[in-house]
Amino acid sequence: MIKAGVRTAMITARVVPAPSSPPRVVAAQRALTATLPTPWVLAQAARYAAPPALPAQLGRSRPRKPRRCPTTITSRNRVEDRVPYAGVTDELAKAWELVQAGDLPGVMRHLRLNAEKLAISDIAKVVEQAAAQAGFDDLVAASSALAADPDQPQNLFDFGYGCIERGISYLAVPALTAALDRVPDSPVVLTELVAALEDEGRHRDAVAVLTERGAALRAWPDRYLLVFNSIMAGDLAGAKAQFGQLTAPDDEQWQPAYERVWRMLDRAATVGTVSVLDNRDLRGWHFVLTGGVLATLSPYGFDQGMTGRYAYTQDGYDRCLLGLLRARVILAATGRRPRTVSLLPDRSSQALGLAAAEVFGLRPEPFSARRQDTLVVAYDLTAAGDELMAQLRERTDGQVLYEHATCWTDPPTVTADISTVLHQTVVAPWGEHLRHTASGPPQPAPADDRSVRELAAEITRADPTPDSGDGETPADLDDTLTRFAAGVAGSWLTGPRGRASASPGPVPSSRFL
């Protein structure tokens, strides 16, 4: 599999239970998937055309027949038969208790925090039972084999591979590390381990694993991965040094990856003239990694783990107007003068787009991929369909893509040129939300079902004064944004709008699991 830095494409795919699955299996699948460190299951994509030959004991030489999950779940009895109550650690006993109770979210949270304290064979036994409850036959088979023979490199590899595919890469890391210890010359195990570390945002660890291989590194994908993970770890000097040794790929499918890291390093050189690029410089690193300009920083929890991003946020009409005004600052600073506002078809984007047309004094038009010199306005690009996203990926002259609410933990397949906020979960101003009351706890409030024109009018008459927050976030005035945007103008709006990594990169932020 090729992931994050390794993969040249990623698709969003949620686990869909088979129609024949009984209700308990369906519920278990949803519960397990909801607790994964990333909320999607990544499909295999852009696997390099001719992978090197694998050692005899490693690699899938033929498809393996998965063990079939029983049509009815009797996991309580099965788990009771398997729980080793005597001589186990507290961490392992707790894991079994959670499995026995059918608390799959609890199992995953517990394993995330305690995997390093548990033997791989014990982890495999717990995962086998959790996967059986979720109906994940492939992971059941891989876990069972590893529990039976935890020293076999193939079993370690298959378990790690399965964990990555199911979005629980934190459990893949110890298994793949053990596999690489046993077959240190396997390039496939190496790239799988790097993929798992990337999933977890452990880019420095990925750099260390790759650096240990020294001269044995292949140019593609190994040295490319070293460049990519060095950038994601904030080590620009190391990335530049490694990129200097990276030859252009012979295989054309690696060309986008080559251009990706080249553009990142080029943007880093530009940003370095106007921004510090330290582990608190969210706007600077957002531009380096995505090519987009971040219009605002979260005014809450900057020094408490958020560093300018939001986890959960309830949006407001005032923030929508503020974002549009900040976009106007960015366009003015970069000398961009759109002639129209392009409206995307979803309701939220229509409302925001009509408000943008009023704020900018431009004519609103339905979106057309061929229209030039236009501001394309999206509230949240995850609401756009695949066909629309494909049209937005390639640039049209003078087209600027503005997204108000950009998800940083599950990014859309296209990265916006301007984003107002980076969030994990957002509630639109017109969506169902909680209303604060003076006399008690927040109360649920219904969605605003007014027309898009009425919502647009509500945005334009809102108060755009920035929220003062808790006072921890550095001052972020229009002048600051103007200097930044003007400084990066030469590197802005270049190259395709690829999907951003779900990793926070060099600027860490807390997230819900």
pLDDT tens digits for range 352-400: 999 999 999 999 999 999 999 999 999 999 999 999 999 999 999 999 9
Q: Does the residue 220 lie in any domain?
A: no
Per-chain mean pLDDT for the chain: 85
**313 and 459 fall within a common domain:** yes
pLDDT of 442 reads 84
Whole-structure pTM value: 0.83
Q: Which of 47-56, 420-429, 489-498 has the lowest mean pLDDT?
A: 47-56
pLDDT number for residue 87: 53
- C-beta of residue 204 within 8 angstroms of C-beta of residue 174: no
pLDDT value of residue 436: 80
Please give the single-letter amino acid code of residue 26. V
Asked if residues 274 and 72 have their Cβ atoms less than 8 Å apart, the reply is no
| Residues pairing with 293 in the sheet | 418
Question: Among the listed ranges 14-18, 320-324, 397-401, which one has the minimum average pLDDT value?
Answer: 14-18
Is the same domain home to 184 and 293? no
Residue whose entry in the numeric block shows the structure tokens 């003068």: 337
Residue 207 lies in a domain: no
Coil, helix or strand at residue 328: helix
Q: Report yes or no on 258 lying in a domain.
A: no
Spatial distance between the Cα atoms of 365 and 353, rounded to a whole number of angstroms: 9
86-95, 178-187, 213-222: segment of lowest average pLDDT: 86-95
Domain of residue 297, residue span: 276-491
Mean of the pLDDT values across residues 277-286? 98
Whole-number Å distance between alpha carbons of 15 and 6: 23
Closest CA to 108 of 44, 11, 25, 38: 38
Q: Are residues 301 and 430 in the same domain?
A: yes
* Domain stop point among 201, 236, 264: 201
Are 58 and 190 spatial neighbours (Cβ–Cβ below 8 Å)? Answer: no
Judge whether 23 and 212 are in contact, CB under 8 Å.
no
Of the candidates 12, 488, 98, which has an alpha carbon nearest to the alpha carbon of residue 267? 488
Q: What is the pLDDT of residue 438?
A: 77
Tell me the mean pLDDT in the region 185-214.
96
Strands 363-366 and 443-445: unpaired
The DSSP annotation for 48-75 comes to -SSPPPPPTTSS-SSPPPPPPPPSS--H
- pLDDT for 10: 21
The answer to whether position 112 is within a domain reads: yes
Residues of the chain above pLDDT 90, percent:
78
Whole-number Å distance between alpha carbons of 436 and 254: 52
305 and 436 both lie in a single domain: yes
Residues 186 and 289 in one domain: no
Helix (H, G, I), strand (E, B) or coil at 416: coil
The residue type of 101 is A
Report the 10 Å Cβ neighbour count for 310: 23
Section 450-468 average pLDDT: 97
The radius of gyration computed from the CA coordinates of the chain, to the nearest angstrom, equals: 24
Instruction: Tell me: do 285 and 197 sit in the same domain.
Output: no
DSSP string, 203-259: HHHHHHHHHTTGGG--IIIIIHHHHHHHHHTT-HHHHHHHHHTPPPPSSGGGHHHHH
Least confident stretch, 21-30, 118-127, 136-145, 217-226: 21-30
Q: Are residues 319 and 455 in the same domain?
A: yes
Longest CA span, the chain:
74
Whether residues 32 and 129 share a domain: the answer is yes
* pLDDT at position 19: 29
Average pLDDT over every residue of 285-296? 98
Is the pLDDT at 7 greater than 80? The verdict is: no
User: Which of 141, 167, 201 is the last residue in one of the domains?
Assistant: 201
Shared domain for 337 and 486, answered yes or no, is: yes
Q: What is the mean pLDDT of residues 419-445?
A: 90
Model pLDDT, residue 440: 78
| Of the residues 168, 183, 201, the one at which a domain ends | 201
9: pLDDT strictly greater than 60: no
Give SS3 for 196: helix
Read off the pLDDT band of 58 (50, 70, 90).
very low
pLDDT over 50 (residue 42): no
For the chain, the domain total comes to 2
Contact 359, 464 (CB under 8 A): no
CA pseudo-torsion sign 127, 129, 134, 137 = positive
Residue keyed to tokens 């510090």: 276
> What is the mean pLDDT of the segment spanning 284-296?
98
Would you state the pLDDT for residue 171? 97
**How far apart, in whole angstroms, are the C-alpha atoms of residue 483 and residue 481?**
5
Predicted local confidence at residue 225, as pLDDT:
98
d(CA 305, CA 311): 10
CATH no. for residue 466? 3.40.50.2020
If asked whether residues 195 and 292 sit together in one domain, one would say: no
Can you give the pLDDT at residue 60?
Answer: 33
Span 22-41, average pLDDT:
33
Confirm whether 208 is domain-assigned: no
Residues 32 and 119 in one domain: yes
Q: Is residue 459 part of a domain?
A: yes
* Residue 497: predicted pLDDT: 95
- What value does the mean pLDDT take over residues 315-335? 98
How much is the average pLDDT of 320-339?
98
Assigned domain for 184 exists: yes
Whether the predicted pLDDT of 35 surpasses 70: no
User: CA dist 84 to 93, 97, 104, 128, Å?
Assistant: 8, 11, 19, 14
Q: Answer yes or no: do 179 and 281 share one domain.
A: no
Average pLDDT in the 210-217 region? 93
For residue 441, what pLDDT is reported?
85
Q: Which residues contact 33 (CB under 8 A, 6 or more apart)?
A: 14, 15, 39, 41, 134, 167
Region 188-195 average pLDDT: 97
Average pLDDT over residues 8-24: 28
Kind of pairing between the strands at 400-407 and 418-423: parallel
Residue 10 lies in a domain: no
The predicted-structure confidence for 500-512, as pLDDT tens digits, reads as follows 999 999 999 998 8
Unique residue bearing structure tokens 């397990």: 32
